[in-house]
Amino acid sequence: MDIVRRNNVSVTGNPDGPTVVLAHGFGCDQNMWRLTVPALAEEYRVVLFDYVGSGRADPSAFSQERYATLEGYARDVVEVHEALDLRDAVFVGHSVSAMIGVTAAGMMPPERIRALVMVAPSPCYIDEDGYRGGFSAEDIDELLASLESNYLGWSSAMAPVIMGNPDRPELGDELTNSFCATDPDMARVFARTTFLSDSRDALKNVRVPTLVLDCTQDVIAPREVGAYVHRAIPGSTLITLDATGHCPHLSAAGATNAALTRFLAGLR
């Protein structure tokens, strides 16, 4: 299988620089990193991709069973690393991708990923005894209902145009909301897998240098969750960005890029 095509992998930046993999979270696609890439491109080789079921990844590769668990998405990450034979890459994951990165790192030999950056991570979104993730199971059902009410420009007629033409991105760019246009059935699977996941136990196994970035105001990953992740990963660094919302790489790109490049420079 052609993984590069399947996951709509794009490689940009400095081909001789260290590799940084940018992984989008639930919702949109690799376009979420559009303000991050310019800050890295000069020094780093930047790898972007879309998870199967998102963006312009090949929808025919989707399977309800595989993507019902974070491991399924983590296999996408592993397969992208293997297809490009990435070594000593820094994996930057936003939102659920941060935990997908932790899972994927555990599935690969250590030479593949040398460090993790977790942007607005949460290892568990639903409240449990002694843990506050911020949401109840009913809240997640409400999100699923919102997904059903908003197809965001996705339609079965346009999907082949959006997803089937990785060589001709201009076709997709014409379409409003195409960054978040996803087959509703696949989006529902990703939403369920994301928000019903509990990967708190995986955090203690992280053995690589890790930067945790959270935001001052984030309803999805509140500060206490960021602090939890930081405490659970031995030796990790926590930086709280002065940002509102769940996407600091868009809403506070300058501060996010500064924290990211400082961490990357420290690894060299």
Partner 1 sequence: MARSERPDPHETGAAAAPGAAFAALLEDSAEELYDGAPCGYLSTLMDGTIAKINATLLDWLGVGREEVVGRKRFTDLLTVGGRLYHETHFAPLLRMQGEIRGIALELRRDDGGRVPVLVSSVVKHGTTGEPLLIRSSVFDARDRRGYEEELLRGRKAAEAARTQAETDRARLQDALAVLQQSLLPDVLPHVPGMETAAHYHTASPDRLGGDFYDMFPLDAKRFGFFLGDVCGKGPQAAALTSLTRHTLHAAALHDADPVAALTTLNTVLHARYAGGGDPRYCTAIVGTLETDPATGQAAVQLASGGHPPAIVTRADGTAEFLPTPGGLLVGIVPHARFAGATTVLAPGDTLLLYTDGITEARTGADRSTLFGDDALLAFTADHAGRRPHAVIQALVGLLDSFGKGLDDDTALLALGVPAPDQYTETTP
Q: Estimate to the nearest angstrom the gap between the alpha carbon of 243 and the chain centroid.
A: 18
Q: Of the two residues 41 and 143, which places its CB atom closer to partner 1 in the complex?
A: 143
For residue 174, the SS3 value is coil
Cβ(87)–Cβ(113) under 8 Å? no
Residues known to be catalytic: 95, 218, 246
Shorter beta-carbon distance to partner 1: residue 136 or 165: 136
CB of 25 to partner 1, least distance (A): 7
Quick one: 111 or 141, whose CB is closer to partner 1? 141
Minimum CB separation of residue 43 from partner 1 in Å reads: 25
| Of 169, 166, 163, residue with least CA distance to 182 | 163
215-239 burial, b for 16+ CB within 10 Å, e for fewer? beebebbbeebbebbbebbeebbbb
To partner 1, the closest distance from the beta carbon of 50 in angstroms equals: 14
- Give the tokens for residue 123: 């290892």
Q: Where do contacts with partner 1 occur on this chain (CB under 8 A)?
A: 25-28, 31-32, 34, 95, 135-136, 139-150, 152, 176-177, 179-180, 195, 217-220, 244-247, 250-251
Q: Residue 70 has which token pair? A: 């974070």
